[in-house]
Amino acid sequence: MKKTGLNILFIIALSVGILSCDTDDTCRKSRTVLLGMNFYLDSINSKTNQLVVQNLAIDSLWIKGEGLDKYFYSKESKNSVKLPLNSFAQESKYMMRFNETIDTVLIKHQNFTEFLSLECGYIRTHKIDTVISTNNFIDSISINQENVGTIYVENIQIHHNK
Amino acid sequence: MGLLSSIHAQEEVKPIKKTVEKSDTVKVKVWQGFFVEFDVAPLIESALINKYAYTYQGNLMINLSNRFFPMIEMGYAGADKTNINEISFKTSGMFQKIGIDFRLLKPHPSATIKHNFVLGGLRFGMSNFNYSINNALIEDPYWGGSEIINENSIPSTKYWFEFVAGTRVSLYKNIYLGWNVRNKRLLNKTKEGEISPWYVPGYGLGKSPIWGFSYTVGYKF
């Protein structure tokens, strides 16, 4: 191989070497762990007499953690919400106001510490054990996916009967 | 008589032919010596670019027939890094690599220096080490509460492959300079959420694949 060819190869290799040394402190992974909750309207089709399940949009939704002052959702129109579970307790209790009707939802869960990277640090993920609620607006509640992580999934379904 | 003399002539020619064949064959001894090398690229990198990491690496490379170059690379490396979130990482440990380089280009017959090599090869690396991650803060911005996680002396063993391409050039008599570029790939990857080292001694940043560069100064024995 000619000297010029080797020189070009050397410069390319040196550049690759310098670029490979680059360390970036920026966290590029999601650190947000939120529970996904969707609302459904259950009704019976009078003609077929079969159960019909539809997405339900709440006109005025208020949600806050019990014992806290700060609302996570405040007078918002939503058919689904994303809620944070308590990272340092085994249960999270929410006060949920659907228009004018108030319900309390208690979610019992386990917490897990997960390492993302040196740049991102650690996060707490959760596994839902049980969900209990009052039944003023809510008619039934079910766990669709028990694991709560950084990827959004529908964890809980809240059903309201027509 | 004429027939007899022609047979004699044939018998006499045969040994001459054999001697000609022998003189045309260039026999290269299998054992061509060995190189002892030191990698200076990490020293430059530590001084100028990544002051958090250091590597001291020595190589032993055997030259077989000027074509095959089995080698052992050994060293000691470590890192001490605190990121912008004040999370600190510390590690140090020995590493070993074993592999072989192959001569990729035959020297030109008219070349005056025949012992310059363009090489390509493979390495298999291993490092057994401990590492620490300290001052990692977990906060719950909505419900409140925080915790600082300190994990010390976490044992780890990492294995990896390296694809290597580079050169060895005779600088003066038996002193050789060499450089190579390396594509490194970790063999044991960590599962999502599992704690893993940010830096692996002998490999570099704990991502896969990564690129690396070596610049060696060596002596041929």
In this complex, the residue of A13, A20, A72 whose CB is nearest that of residue B166 is A13
Q: In the prediction, which pLDDT does B13 show?
A: 47
Distance from C-alpha of B147 to C-alpha of B140, rounded to nearest angstrom: 9
| pLDDT for residue A154 is more than 80 | yes
| pLDDT for residue A17 is more than 60 | no
| pLDDT for residue B2 is more than 50 | no
Q: B117 to chain A: nearest residue by CA?
A: A1
Residue-wise pLDDT tens digits, B139-166: 999 999 999 999 999 999 999 999 999 9
How is residue A35 annotated by DSSP? Answer: E
In this complex, the residue of B105, B166, B204 whose CB is nearest that of residue A1 is B105
Q: In the prediction, which pLDDT does B3 show?
A: 42
pTM to 2 decimals? 0.78
The one-letter code for the residue type at B181 is V
Q: In the prediction, which pLDDT does A138 show?
A: 95
Torsion of CA A68, A70, A74, A80, to 10 degrees: -70
Interface of B with A in 127-186 (CB under 8 A): 133, 136-138, 140-145, 147, 149, 166-167, 179-181
| pLDDT for residue B4 is more than 80 | no
In this complex, the residue of B49, B140, B212 whose CB is nearest that of residue A87 is B140
Residue-wise pLDDT tens digits, A22-44: 566 788 889 999 999 999 999 99
| pLDDT for residue A161 is more than 70 | yes
Residues in a beta bridge with A109: A128
Helix, strand or coil, per DSSP, at residue B48: helix
Residue-wise pLDDT tens digits, B29-73: 888 889 999 999 999 888 888 889 999 999 999 999 888 999 999
| pLDDT for residue B204 is more than 70 | yes
Interface of B with A in 61-100 (CB under 8 A): 81, 83-85, 87, 89
Task: Give me the half-sphere count of Cα atoms (radius 13 Å) on the Cβ side of residue A83.
Answer: 29
Q: In the prediction, which pLDDT does A112 show?
A: 95
* Contact call for A68 and B143, based on CB within 8 A: yes
- pLDDT-derived band at B190 (thresholds 50, 70, 90) equals confident
Residues in a beta bridge with B179: B167, B215
Lookup: tokens for A138: 């809510």
Residue-wise pLDDT tens digits, A79-123: 999 999 999 999 999 999 999 999 999 999 999 999 988 888 999
Residues of B in contact with A122 (CB under 8 A): 136, 138, 149
- pLDDT-derived band at A135 (thresholds 50, 70, 90) equals very high
Please state the domain extents for chain B.
28-220
Q: Residues B117-132: what's their mean pLDDT?
A: 95
* Contact call for A119 and B83, based on CB within 8 A: yes
Interface of A with B in 8-27 (CB under 8 A): 9-10, 12-14, 16-21, 23, 25
Instruction: Give the distance between the most distant pair of CA atoms in chain A.
Output: 87
Residues of B in contact with A88 (CB under 8 A): 140, 143-145, 147
Residues in a beta bridge with A153: none
Q: In the prediction, which pLDDT does A27 show?
A: 87
- φ/ψ of A89, rounded to 5, equals -145, 165
Residues of B in contact with A110 (CB under 8 A): none
Residues of A in contact with B133 (CB under 8 A): 115, 118
Residue-wise pLDDT tens digits, A41-88: 999 988 898 989 999 999 999 999 999 999 999 989 999 999 999 999
> Is-cis flag, bond preceding B197, omega within 30?
no
A140 Cα to chain B: minimum distance (Å) = 26
Mean pLDDT taken over chain B: 86
Q: In the prediction, which pLDDT does B140 show?
A: 94
The answer to whether B218 and B37 are in contact (CB under 8 A) is yes
B183 Cα to chain A: minimum distance (Å) = 10
Which class does domain B28-220 fall in?
mainly beta
Q: Minimal CA–CA distance to B115: which of B47, B165, B60, B67?
A: B67
